């Protein structure tokens, strides 16, 4: 069977019958292609609003025939959303010295790290105004430690990266996850995206407050359903994803065999594609994870850099192995693959990144790589070309929110690879660039479907590529810019089905979906 037609048939969920006699008839083949496109396009222009304000000014949600909905993104950010970044008094104050300052800053951080925790914090290292040459990575490896400067402007605190290429600052725990023995299989035939509960065989296996890992196997039948079983690059088969898809939640309510969680689920769980293993809920415990760490109020400057993404470069900072962290009011110059965050409940606020030079080659660096649940990127600015302003990694589950950001220079907000779920792009502007929710096909090493259950809300860009994965949805609502429709990369046809567009070129209410969801969940405070 022609692979182009097969992918359309798979996307529609048409039973896998013997299409060979049909395909031998060229008229039938073209008719099938036309019918498939004709059926799919109305799905992309669904009359539902999906989320809107009712007569009382409250959000009301529409649901798919299987119960899927746009999820509540308000849980993204430090402390789970709606909590201000704390103001910690200085414990140690440093002045810049000639030569390398990294060792002195590290010694001060280590001293604060040895202090006892008080109200969740040990203390803050404050850098006075001035230039701090740093030839090595500065590391925070204890909970409750903050590194702050005295401003991100020219007269504030400047960390000057020098020497061999390195990461400027690393906040990194060493979490170890262990299983407790409580393990149950999900009994629902279908758990919709956006749900906050599911059913298991025996709810008595768990207790309120348990942290559980929900594990969905990546089965051959699901990979085929997604149209990802035929990825070939340079004559070599490419693996989209294998193994398992996992997400962690805390149990807040148990009613019989129904478990309710603290944060919505960002993907669906369809028993038709998880056999024979099925989806499993298992209690876990964690040691070695950090909490309550932050960096703020300084400027980070790298020498001008170019080359490909495979070359070594100075990078800005990494935050991972942590729950509850932030980075705020930081200006960054000339780093490449600047920021990576992999932890949970992290806020990046008022981060600016500037590039003097452009990286070389078709492979593009990611300025901000969001790779964990409940991450919030707000009030950020990036200026640069040939770059992914925001990217996601493989198997990432949200909610992830990108809000009130401006990205200039012709780059992209583009989830990058291997099935991330639960992204909101809220009131962002990408003049000269694009916002893409797409199937990346054989790009990279078989990145394939990069994102599902993603929303662009009241955002603007030169162009939008919104594609609808089989069995999932992507939405662009109230957005302004040209719509593109494309085939899978390296293919000329067929055009992949478009995701859902609502009120294109006409902004909708509420102005910010995240802020409205946050207000309705926590109240006006």
Give the tokens for residue 132: 């701090």
Predicted local distance difference test score (pLDDT) of residue 47: 56
- Which CATH number is 83-174+289-386 given? 2.160.20.10
Asked if residues 274 and 127 have their Cβ atoms less than 8 Å apart, the reply is no
Taken in order 126, 82, 266, 454, the sign of the CA dihedral is: negative
pLDDT digits (tens, 9 = 90+) for 452-471: 999 999 999 999 999 999 99
Q: Characterize the bridge pairing of strands 236-237 and 176-185.
A: unpaired
Spell out, as residue ranges, where the chain has pLDDT lower than 70: 1-47, 307-309
Cis peptide before 2 (omega within 30 of 0): no
The pair of structure tokens assigned to 247 is 């997400």
Q: Do the Cβ atoms of 69 and 50 come closer than 8 Å? A: yes
Taking only the tens place, the pLDDT of each residue in 230-288 is 999 888 899 999 999 999 999 999 999 999 999 999 999 999 999 888 999 999 999 99
Residues 6+ apart with CB under 8 A from 64: 192, 473
pLDDT of amino acid 20: 39
Nearest-5° Cα angle at 306, 303 to 309: 115
Token output for 275: 């056999």
- Pairing assessment for the beta strands 244-255 and 211-217 based on DSSP bridges: antiparallel
Percent of the chain with pLDDT over 90: 82
């Amino acid at each position: 069977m022609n692979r182009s037609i097969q992918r359309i048939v798979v996307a529609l969920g048409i039973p896998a019958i013997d299409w060979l006699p049909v395909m031998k008839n060229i008229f039938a083949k073209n008719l099938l292609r036309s019918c498939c496109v004709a059926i799919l396009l109305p799905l992309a222009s669904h009359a539902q609003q999906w989320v809107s304000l009712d007569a009382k000014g409250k959000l009301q949600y529409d649901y798919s025939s299987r119960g899927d909905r746009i999820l509540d993104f308000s849980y993204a950010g430090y402390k789970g959303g709606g909590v201000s970044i704390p103001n910690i008094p200085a414990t140690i104050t440093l002045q810049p010295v000639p030569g390398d300052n990294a060792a002195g800053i590290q010694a001060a951080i280590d001293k604060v790290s040895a202090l006892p925790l008080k109200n969740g914090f040990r203390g803050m290292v404050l850098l006075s105004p001035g230039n701090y040459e740093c030839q090595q990575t500065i590391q925070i490896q204890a909970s409750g430690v903050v590194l702050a400067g005295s401003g991100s402007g020219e007269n504030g605190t400047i960390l000057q990266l020098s020497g061999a290429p390195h990461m400027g600052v690393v906040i990194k725990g060493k979490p170890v996850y262990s299983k407790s023995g409580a393990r149950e299989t999900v009994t629902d035939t279908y758990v919709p995206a956006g749900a906050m509960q599911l059913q298991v065989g025996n709810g008595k296996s768990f207790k309120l407050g348990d942290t559980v890992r929900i594990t969905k196997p990546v089965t051959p039948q699901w990979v085929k359903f997604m149209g990802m079983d035929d990825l070939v690059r340079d004559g070599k088969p490419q693996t989209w994803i294998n193994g398992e898809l996992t997400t962690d939640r805390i149990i807040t309510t148990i009613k019989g065999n129904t478990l309710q969680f603290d944060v919505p689920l960002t993907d669906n769980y369809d028993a038709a594609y998880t056999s024979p293993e099925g989806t499993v809920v298992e209690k876990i415990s964690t040691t070695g994870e950090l909490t309550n760490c932050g960096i703020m109020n300084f400027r980070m400057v790298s020498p001008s850099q170019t080359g490909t993404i495979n070359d070594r470069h100075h990078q800005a900072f990494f935050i991972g192995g942590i729950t509850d962290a932030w980075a705020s009011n930081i200006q960054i110059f000339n780093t490449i693959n600047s920021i990576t965050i992999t932890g949970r409940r992290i806020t990046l606020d008022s981060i600016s990144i500037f590039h003097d030079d452009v990286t070389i080659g078709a492979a593009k660096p990611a300025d901000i790589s969001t790779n964990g649940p409940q991450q919030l990127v707000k009030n950020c600015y990036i200026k640069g070309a040939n770059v992914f302003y925001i990217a996601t990694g493989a198997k990432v589950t949200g909610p992830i929110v990108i809000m009130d950001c401006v990205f200039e220079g012709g780059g992209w907000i583009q989830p990058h690879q291997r099935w991330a779920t639960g992204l909101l792009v809220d009131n962002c502007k990408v003049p000269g660039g694009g916002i893409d929710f797409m199937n990346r096909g054989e790009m990279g090493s078989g990145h394939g479907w990069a994102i599902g259950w993603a929303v662009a809300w009241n955002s603007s860009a030169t162009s939008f590529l919104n594609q609808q994965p089989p069995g999932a949805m992507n939405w662009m609502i109230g957005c302004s810019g040209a719509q593109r429709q494309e085939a899978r990369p390296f293919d000329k046809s067929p055009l992949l089905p478009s995701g859902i567009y609502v009120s294109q070129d006409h902004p909708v209410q509420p102005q910010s979906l995240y802020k409205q969801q946050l207000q309705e969940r926590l109240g006006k405070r």
